[in-house]
Amino acid sequence: MKLKYLIVLIVIASFGSIIYGFTLKEVSEFTANRYIGFGTAGLFLVAMPLFLFKESKGKQMKDYLLNKENIEKMNKKEREKTGNQ
């Protein structure tokens, strides 16, 4: 539960940094680019991996791989679906 709030805080801070960078663009372009860069890095290098880690807890990676067993399951479900219509 606490990880959820940390992720939300990081996302809000990152968006705030990006917006502040764009408002600062006319005054100091170098500083503005730093704020925009840090905000983008915060979103994609910190918040997104934390979110994916949180959401993938307890899930098996093999269920999402495209192997022969899973292809057969999908074909079976498709046949059942079209057979019931």
CA dihedral 53, 56, 58, 61 (to 10 degrees): -120
Q: How many structural domains are present in the chain? A: 1
Measured CA to CA in angstroms, residue 85 lies from 46, 71, 79, 80 at distances of 46, 22, 10, 9
Task: Give the residue-averaged pLDDT of 4-25.
Answer: 96
pLDDT tens by residue, 39-85: 999 999 999 999 999 988 888 877 778 888 888 888 888 888 886 65
Higher pLDDT, 22 or 73: 22
Higher pLDDT, 14 or 70: 14
pLDDT above 80: residue 1 = no
What is the extent of the structural domain holding 74?
2-83
Higher pLDDT, 33 or 80: 33
